A and B are shown apart, each in its own frame.
Chain A
Amino acid sequence: MSSLEIKNLHKEFDDFHAIRGIDLHIEKGEFAVFVGPSGCGKSTLLRLIAGLETVTSGSIMLDDKEITEVAASQRDLAMVFQSYALYPHMTVAENMSFALKLANVDQAVIDKKVKEAAEILQLQDLLTRKPKALSGGQRQRVAIGRAIVRHPSVFLFDEPLSNLDASLRVQMRQELSQLHHDLKSTMIYVTHDQVEAMTLADKVVILSAGKVEQVGTPLDVYYNPQSRFVAEFIGTPKMSFIPVDTEIQNLIGSQDKRNLTKGDCLGIRPESISINEKGLQGKVSLVERLGAETLVYIDYQDQYKIAARTNSLASVTVGDQIDFSINFDSVHSFDQDGVRVSPNVTDDLIVG
Chain B
Amino acid sequence: MMNLTLSQRKKYKTISLGLLSWVVALVFFFPILWMFMTSFKTELQAIAVPPLWTWEPTFENFAIVQERSDYFKFAMNSIVTSFGATLLALLIAVPAAYSMAFFPSKHTKDILLWMLSTKMLPAVGVLMPIYLLTKSAGLLDNVFSLIIIFTMINLPIIMWMLFSYFREIPKEILEASRMDGATTLGELRHVVMPLSWGGIASTGLLSIVLCWNEAFWSINLTSANAGTLTALIASYSSPEGLFWAKLSAASTLACAPIVVFGWFCQKQLVQGLTFGAVK
Please tell me if the beta carbons of B180 and A99 are within 8 angstroms of each other in the complex.
yes
With both chains docked as a complex, state the minimum distance between the C-beta of B176 and any C-beta of chain A, in angstroms. Answer: 4
- The closest CB in chain A to the CB of B173 belongs to A85
With both chains docked as a complex, state the minimum distance between the C-beta of B83 and any C-beta of chain A, in angstroms. Answer: 26
> Size band of the B side of the interface?
20 to 34
Please tell me if the beta carbons of B179 and A88 are within 8 angstroms of each other in the complex.
no
Known contacts: A88-B278, A89-B194, A89-B195. The answer to whether A102 contacts B175 by CB under 8 A is no
Residues of B within 8 A of A51 (CB): 178
Please tell me if the beta carbons of B181 and A81 are within 8 angstroms of each other in the complex.
no
- The closest CB in chain A to the CB of B193 belongs to A89
The 6 closest A-B pairs by CB, nearest first: A99-B180, A85-B172, A85-B176, A79-B179, A72-B178, A81-B172
- Bound CA–CA A71/B178 (angstroms): 9
Residues of B within 8 A of A89 (CB): 194-195
- Bound CA–CA A193/B173 (angstroms): 24
Chain B positions 129-172 with a Cβ under 8 Å from a chain A Cβ: 170, 172
Residues of A within 8 A of B186 (CB): 102
Question: B residues bordering A, Cβ < 8 Å?
Answer: 170, 172-173, 175-183, 186, 190-191, 194-195, 277-279
Residues of A within 8 A of B177 (CB): 87, 98
Please tell me if the beta carbons of A87 and B176 are within 8 angstroms of each other in the complex.
yes
Can you list 25 A-B contacts (CB < 8 A)? Answer: A50-B179, A52-B179, A72-B178, A73-B180, A73-B182, A73-B183, A74-B181, A77-B179, A79-B175, A81-B175, A81-B176, A82-B172, A83-B172, A85-B170, A86-B176, A87-B176, A87-B177, A87-B195, A88-B278, A88-B279, A98-B190, A102-B181, A102-B190, A132-B279, A146-B176
A230 touches B (CB below 8 Å)? no
With both chains docked as a complex, state the minimum distance between the C-beta of B163 and any C-beta of chain A, in angstroms. Answer: 20
Known contacts: A87-B173, A102-B186. The answer to whether A73 contacts B195 by CB under 8 A is no
Residues of B within 8 A of A86 (CB): 173, 176
- Bound CA–CA A8/B180 (angstroms): 28
Residues of A within 8 A of B178 (CB): 51-52, 71-73
Question: A residues bordering B, Cβ < 8 Å?
Answer: 50-52, 71-74, 77-79, 81-83, 85-89, 98-99, 102-103, 132, 146, 150
With both chains docked as a complex, state the minimum distance between the C-beta of B200 and any C-beta of chain A, in angstroms. Answer: 13
Residue in A52, A99, A103, A132 whose CB lies within 8 Å of B175: A52
Residue in A83, A88, A102 whose CB lies within 8 Å of B180: A102
- Bound CA–CA A82/B171 (angstroms): 12
With both chains docked as a complex, state the minimum distance between the C-beta of A88 and any C-beta of chain B, in angstroms. Answer: 5
- Bound CA–CA A89/B272 (angstroms): 12
Residues of B within 8 A of A103 (CB): 181
Please tell me if the beta carbons of A88 and B181 are within 8 angstroms of each other in the complex.
no
Residues of A within 8 A of B173 (CB): 85-88
